[in-house]
Amino acid sequence: MEIVSLTSTHPLADGRTTSAPLVRSLRGDRPERTPVWFMRQAGRSLPEYRAIREGTTMLQSCLIPELASEITLQPVRRHGVDAAILFSDIVIPVLLAGIDVEIVPGRGPVIADPIRTTGDLQRLHPIDPAVFVPIRAAVALTVEQLGSTPLIGFAGAQFTLASYLVEGGPSKDQWRA
């Protein structure tokens, strides 16, 4: 396992988030109150989210740093939650790997040309680290505005992403996968 060192400007290294209830709780402390955040903090329930997303697809929104940052910050401002959750989607790595994927309302992620044969695997290529620049920028913009509030990121499980790639989208039985 690779050990990653924090930069001196990281919120944990420079002390900004060390007293946050979430961080204290994760370290085994008992903060004065239980920290709270919601897995789906941004979304249909916030009118400001719906307004800012107007005319932009879900996946486009994730890759426009200013937009992703603003969407991440909206529930923190509105609800005072103890952590922000980076606005993104489970299929962003698939998109950044060059796979044609779209979020179809009412269905979910749909892969235009699923990976089902050995030949199809040849279409996959290593991800160029440069494609992550918009995500790094969104994180930097968000952390700059969060102050002592921690930022949570998440990643999709490999089987779920592989299943989308093989099935071509969500599946109840995962038969092909």
Looking at the annotation, which residues are catalytic?
Answer: 40, 44, 53, 89, 164
CA distance 37 to 82: 6
Can you state the angle between helices 133-146 and 65-79, rounded to 10 degrees? 30
Q: State the greatest distance between any 2 C-alpha atoms of the chain, in Å, as a whole number.
A: 57
CA distance 91 to 163: 11
Strand partners, 40: none
Identity of the amino acid at 76: V
SS3 60: helix
Identity of the amino acid at 160: T
Identity of the amino acid at 106: G
| Closest alpha carbon to 52 in 34, 68, 33, 75 | 68
